[in-house]
Every structure is written in C-alpha cells, then in structure tokens.
Amino acid sequence: MRLNEKVAVVTGAASGMGKAIAELYAKEGAKVILADYNFEGAETVASGIVANGGTAKAVKANVAESSDIENMINTAVSEFGTLDILVNNAGIMDGFEPVGDITDEKWDRIFDINTKSVMRATRKAVSIFLEKGKGVIVNTASTGGFNGAHAGVAYTASKHAVVGITKNTGFMYANKGIRCNAIAPGATITNIESTMTNLNEFGTSRTQVAQSVIPRAGQPEEIAQVALFLASDESSFVNGTVVTADAGWTSAF
C-alpha cells in the first residue's frame, strides 16, 4: 500500500474532496484524522473507514480557530504517534462578489478559513516534520488561484494566497525533507455551493464567460487520486508546485 503506516490529517473531511481523500488514504494504509466542523459527518466517514478495515478518527475542527488546528494535529500525534501528511482541504466559496461589492466581514471570513488556516496548520505540521526530517503537505488550491474569472474577489485572492504559501513552503524547506504541493481543481461536484449565499448578480454573470468552456465537472474521487500521488513517495521529486486537475478547462485561456 502506498501510504502504509503513514499518519495523515485531512481537513474538510466530512464530505466532498476531503472525504474522498481520507477514504483513499485509509485504503492505501494511512491512519487518518478526519477534521471537520461537521463532526457528525466526519464521524460517519470515519466509521465507514473503520468498517472497511482502515484506521480513522474524527475530530471536530473549525479551521478558522487556531486552537482547533492545534488540537487536530495534537490528536494525530497522541492517537497515532506522529504526523506524516497534512492535507489542507477545508474551504468555502464567496458569492461571486467583485471588489466593489465585497464586505470586510466576508473577506475576513473567507481568508480565515481558506488561507489563514493553511498557514496555521502548515506552521504546526512543519515543527513536527523538522524533527522527523521529513513530511508532506498537500493544499487544495483552485483554478481560481491563478485565474480571475472563476469566483469573486475574496475567494480568488484567498486561493492565490494558497498558491503562494505552497510555493514558498516548498522552496523554504526543500532541503529539510519536507515537500509542499497543491492541487488546483476545476469545477468539481461537491457541496461547497452550500457555503454560497446572496449571489452577486454582476459577478455571477461575469464568471459565466469562463464557465461556458468547462469540459465537464470532476468527481471528488478524481481529485483524491491526485492527492494520493502527491502524498506518496511516487512524487518524491515534485515540490513547491500546483497540479491542475480540471479536464483541460484552463488550457483554453
């Protein structure tokens, strides 16, 4: 198995891409901490993993809270003895608001969840990885992390920042045995739309220009396969980069 005896923390693991990643990691031999604000959902996923012979534990985590991030990683160490893989997957969407319409409150909330949580969790994980002399970080970015037409200004900026964190972390710790990469999913069938409220009419109409050339929507399991590759030794020479998984969407422009 490609992740045999590895210990992984996956955020946003109660549904969507996080769920698919956690399940695949467990199938490949990892012991997985499933962190999510939706604790009941995470427990259900964890129970399914255990029922299929895997090892998993659910932890309630609001990734916007520093204490919850500390707790989820500390739980991995206390339950399974260490941490080998961190997957920063939790995230929310904006309402397609352009900069003229975004509020400070919404901007701050999106950055707390999408960006600051990545920094905080990575900071905590790196302290463990430096002692071990190795470790892997996989961030969920977005095609919106290098394109301006896929979301509103807050989500777009937050994912651009995740790409920056990924590249900087990969470079800074490249000679310390630590790898950090990101996945940029295109349109993927998850429940992230449930985090979208009060859609901005102007912003939504503008993004439809790019959406019109989406080849197809992806499945969470397809993104999980990329996350497995990035977490495994098969990607040992891949570091500080972003893997685009969008069926060719962004190759159009």
Residues with a known catalytic role: 155
Could you count the other beta carbons within 10 Å of the beta carbon of residue 62? Answer: 15
Asked if residue 158 lies in contact with residue 111, where contact means CB atoms within 8 angstroms, the answer is yes
Long-range contacts, stretch 80-84, CB < 8 angstroms, 24+ apart: 80/7, 80/31, 80/33, 80/55, 81/7, 82/7, 82/128, 82/132, 83/7, 83/8, 83/9, 83/125, 83/128, 83/129, 83/135, 84/6, 84/7, 84/8, 84/30, 84/132, 84/134, 84/135, 84/136
